[in-house]
Amino acid sequence: MYLTQLRTAVIVLITIISKIQRAYILISSIMAFYVLIIKEKEDETGVTYRFGPHEDRLGSLWIDKFSGEVKELQETPEQNSQAFFQRSAVKVWQDWKKGSFPEKISWAS
């Protein structure tokens, strides 16, 4: 009798864990993505921006004012740092095309 109850409890626990994992995967796939982008410095040739999920965890990039080339100078200390850089680079490049180098911008999706 005890083994039957234990087996049933294990099956219920496995079912619950499986549902939690599926819910986590679903939530992860629909979560919003936010990148804060702050101008750090600007000179005659380019602009350096800091970027990341919030002000405590920022990487940096540089955009050439003449060509629009964007280079990553420092990764964000996040697990998916390339995703933050790519979105920041696109946003900064879009503003460069308009001739604008804003002090503070963001990417949200």
Q: Where are the domains of the chain?
A: 1-31, 34-108
Residue 62: which H helix or E strand, with range?
strand 59-64
Mean pLDDT of 50-67: 94
The lowest-confidence range among 21-35, 40-54, 78-92 is 21-35
Confidence (pLDDT) at 20: 64
Confidence (pLDDT) at 89: 95
Q: pTM for this structure?
A: 0.71
Q: Which two tokens stand for residue 25?
A: 């995967």
Confidence (pLDDT) at 10: 63
Split at pLDDT 50, 70, 90, the class of 103 is: very high
